[in-house]
Structure 1
Amino acid sequence: MTPRAGAIWTAFLLAHALVAIAGWLLPSQPMGDVVLVYLPWSHSALTGGPIVGISESWVYPQLALVPMLLAQALALPLAGLLGTAPAYLVGWALLVTLCDALGLAALLRRRGRGREVAAWFWIAALLLLGPIAMYRIDAITLPLALAGGLWLVAHPRLAAAVLTVGAWIKVWPGVLLLAATASGRNGLRLLVTAAAACGVIVLPLLALGAGENLLGFLTAQNGRGLQIEAVFATPFLWAAVLGEAKIQYSFDILTYQVVAPAAQAVAAATTPAMAIVVAAIVILGLLRSRRGARWQLLVPPLALALTVALIVMNRVGSPQFTVWLIAPAMLWIIFDRTRAHTAAALVLLLCALTFCVYPLTYDGLLAAHGLPVLLLSLRNAMLVVLLVVAVRAVARTPLPTR
């Protein structure tokens, strides 16, 4: 190991330790989902109770239960000493750190200035985003998306399989596969491998009795309203500041939503709008690919544009969605560092703004105080700016000179 690689590994592990500990100290329960929902879900599956995604519908794809069960295994030796809930939190932090370490190993397996810069970018993003970067299921998908993106170069079949597994944990890694396919490199091979991987995943789930719950994660969002952190909820939050709208907790989906006369109509419009925007970005990528754009220069901004579109056009706006931006930004730094500066800076700014909202000022946001609403508005505005930057980069991907 070179001295520079050693410095990266040391900073990487220290950053994880600092962020993991911060989760115990900061307000608004940044570890809440892990102990309040992941622990009961995994405990139920292990003790003969209902199994989410199998015997009942679930908001996540079925493979999301696997890391929750693995955290149980890591927590088991600590349960007698710490108690069930604290041990599970420690087990989860260890699991995320281990997964991230495997992702970093894949990143640094080959030497290169771009890879080192991407590693430091990851460390900075983790520190700026805080505990939400570790204590959510999204943290497990980040190293999978990163490894899959890296392996698109030399191991496209392995990359497609890894990204498919990631998509069956949380849907978003699938956009990297979509971007790679649209870029025109090994498109058919990627699609065939992804279909085969889906078959390997789906057949056991059907055998276990998933049946009508198999794709429940695709329809689970249909009835929900606008979550307060969603980009399209921003005007309604300012209405709440003025007393003309309300923030209300939904016990059905365990989140806070805005309540206003037009909010439900806006929420209903987000799904078709998302489909249109995603399709338009994919078509733009296909056109640039047809004109000869190199796939290494096209895939990273295309993947980032699609990922940001999933966030901006979503009726849900959970703070952990910011985690999704890190892997595409890292791939952009690795493959095309000269054009990645603006996007990378915006992603780091988004991490910092998200941390300022959640968990630092989240209690004030729930009370519709002006400062946290302003911070969230800035965060949402920067998401739109990042979408424009990424789409513009796709549209201006360099073409071969004639």
Structure 2
Amino acid sequence: MNRLRVTPGPVLTLTAAWFATRALMLWLLLHSGARELGGGSVTREVWRLYFHWYGVLADGSFPVHDTLWQYPPGAGAVLLAPGLLPGLTYFQAFVLLSLAVDALTAAVLLRAGTRPGRSPLGAAVWTGGLPLLLHLPLARYDVQVTALAVLSLLACARSPRAGGVFGALGALVKVWPALVLLGTPRGRPTRTAWAWAAGTGAGCLALFAAFFTHPLSFLREQGGRGVQIESLGGTALNLARHAGWPGRSRYRYGAIEMVGPHVHAVATASLALTAVAFGLLVLWRVRARHWSAATPYDAALSAVLLFTVTSRVISPQYMIWLIGLAAVCLTSRHTSQRPVAALVLAACAVTTVAYPLYYHEVVHGTWAGCLLMLVRNGLLTAAAVLSLRRLWRAARPAAGAGGPAAGHRPGSERLADRALSVS
């Protein structure tokens, strides 16, 4: 039996890079009170808001009538987890767990990338991409939910059951990981993954309902969200202020949102665009004829990108999701998303300039703030369009492969994979 041979060079290099970059992120976290780093606004969410919710959850109830609680019940488990580490403050335990999950994600990506026909580039993107957001990833629980999405995608290839379970757990924490199951191969793998996801989700919801009160309280608050200033709609409205629009920004629902005339219309347009994006993804799924090993990864990145750019809210931590999914794509040498990953990393760098470095400019809608958001959202929009286009092209059978069913024959599949690796 052939054993997996791991070249020590990339492993040692990436391990050293992970420790160096995470040390830098921790240093920034310790100095987050500096005005240039947001004056403590990045870390405040953990020691004030998360810790407050921890107290409510520890009493056996989900936050109710709390406009800031907009998360599925699985988020409660993540926020309770720091309490399992004795001798540490809540903030210290939260950061330690975030680092541990970050390290686990890097290790899983590296292991996947060292298999035959794979690439360690995915682990490199995760290791080097996360620090582009400075210390923000350590002070949000999006690293944890992204790890579940990564595990779901990587597990699905060998065990659709495990992929479905991880996908459901991720969706229970922050909804969007349900999208990672969009690209599962047709037939039995899809039925198995989706069935196990549904069963896991139903079982976990039943457990939350048994041990906590108000597990679905987030639904009431989620519907009231408006247009965040960092979304595409918010950027358009901020620019409109320079043309005489009388609206302004205001802190609502845990974010800075735009208020004034026509904001509701912009929010409705965003929801309509999200529906269109979903329709395009369903159409791709119906018309796709060729699945390579990278197709589930590419479909997940494309879906989350489309839902991100059409959302009423594009918070900085959303970029963590995209880094993780781009990293999974790049573990495969047959991915169609390499240029998309480059655009995502560029958008991460611009996001950091906007928040926390120049967030004051963004909030007040100055020309500098508007330009930053135009560049960042332009990169994300270009990434989403390019991602869907390349996903659609990759789903076609290779020329001369012999028709729609040919993609399932071993010879034609190799031909299509070679064509994808060149494109």
Q: Equivalents in 1 of 2:139, 2:25: separation in Å?
A: 10
Identity %: 27
Does 2:319 align with 1:307? no
Give runs of aligned pairs for residues 372-383 of structure 1, distance below 5 A.
372-383=369-380
Per mean C-alpha deviation after superposition, the further-off stretch among 146-155 and 279-288 is 279-288
User: Which residue number corresponds to residue 344 of structure 2?
Assistant: 347
1:165-193 residue CA offsets vs partner (Å, 9 max, x unmatched): 01111111110012326x55611111111
Relative to structure 1, the CA distance from residue 272 to residue 184 in structure 2 (aligned partners, 3 Å threshold; closer, same or farther) is farther
1:247–1:256 CA contact under 8 A, matched in 2: no
In structure 1, list runs of 5 or more residues that go unmatched: 79-86
What SS is found at the alignment partner of 1:296?
Answer: coil
Across the aligned residues of Structure 1 and Structure 2, the Cα RMSD in angstroms comes to: 2.4
Give runs of aligned pairs for residues 165-176 of structure 1, distance below 5 A.
165-176=169-180
192, 196, 208: which is aligned to 1:189? 192
Relative to structure 1, the CA distance from residue 43 to residue 373 in structure 2 (aligned partners, 3 Å threshold; closer, same or farther) is same
Relative to structure 1, the CA distance from residue 279 to residue 53 in structure 2 (aligned partners, 3 Å threshold; closer, same or farther) is farther
2:227–2:257 CA contact under 8 A, matched in 1: yes
TM superposition outliers: structure 1 runs of 4+ over 4 Å: 53-57
User: Which residue number corresponds to residue 83 of structure 1?
Assistant: none
Cα distance, 1:384 vs structure 2? 0.9
Q: Equivalents in 2 of 1:124, 1:365: separation in Å?
A: 26
User: Which residue number corresponds to residue 220 of structure 1?
Assistant: 221
Q: Equivalents in 2 of 1:318, 1:42: separation in Å?
A: 22
Q: Equivalents in 1 of 2:238, 2:150: separation in Å?
A: 34
Give runs of aligned pairs for residues 333-344 of structure 1, distance below 5 A.
333-337=330-334, 339-344=336-341
1:157–1:193 CA contact under 8 A, matched in 2: yes
Cα distance, 1:271 vs structure 2? 2.3
User: Which residue number corresponds to residue 14 of structure 1?
Assistant: 20
1:236–1:245 CA contact under 8 A, matched in 2: no
What SS is found at the alignment partner of 1:179?
Answer: coil
User: Which residue number corresponds to residue 106 of structure 2?
Assistant: 104
Q: Equivalents in 1 of 2:81, 2:378: separation in Å?
A: 37
In structure 2, list runs of 5 or more residues that go unmatched: 1-5, 403-423
1:57–1:216 CA contact under 8 A, matched in 2: no
Relative to structure 1, the CA distance from residue 285 to residue 245 in structure 2 (aligned partners, 3 Å threshold; closer, same or farther) is farther
Relative to structure 1, the CA distance from residue 229 to residue 392 in structure 2 (aligned partners, 3 Å threshold; closer, same or farther) is same
* Structure with the bigger percentage of helix: 1
Does 2:211 align with 1:208? yes
Cα distance, 1:360 vs structure 2? 0.7
Q: Equivalents in 2 of 1:264, 1:272: separation in Å?
A: 12
Relative to structure 1, the CA distance from residue 22 to residue 184 in structure 2 (aligned partners, 3 Å threshold; closer, same or farther) is farther
124, 135, 141: which is aligned to 2:139? 135
Give runs of aligned pairs for residues 2-401 of structure 1, distance below 5 A.
2-23=8-29, 24-25=31-32, 26-28=37-39, 29-46=41-58, 48=59, 50-52=61-63, 58-74=69-85, 76-78=86-88, 87-110=89-112, 111-112=114-115, 114-180=118-184, 184=187, 186-208=189-211, 210=213, 213-241=214-242, 244-251=245-252, 253-288=253-288, 291=289, 293-337=290-334, 339-397=336-394, 398-400=396-398, 401=401
Cα distance, 1:54 vs structure 2? 11
Cα distance, 1:279 vs structure 2? 2.3
Q: Equivalents in 2 of 1:332, 1:53: separation in Å?
A: 39
Per mean C-alpha deviation after superposition, the further-off stretch among 332-341 and 387-396 is 332-341
2:63 maps to amino acid: V
2:227–2:234 CA contact under 8 A, matched in 1: yes
What SS is found at the alignment partner of 1:169?
Answer: helix
What SS is found at the alignment partner of 2:134?
Answer: helix
Per mean C-alpha deviation after superposition, the further-off stretch among 272-281 and 238-247 is 238-247
Q: Equivalents in 1 of 2:47, 2:243: separation in Å?
A: 35
2:359–2:369 CA contact under 8 A, matched in 1: yes
Q: Number of residue pairs matched?
A: 385
1:53–1:62 CA contact under 8 A, matched in 2: no
User: Which residue number corresponds to residue 81 of structure 1?
Assistant: none
What SS is found at the alignment partner of 2:261?
Answer: coil
2:67–2:221 CA contact under 8 A, matched in 1: no
Cα distance, 1:305 vs structure 2? 1.5
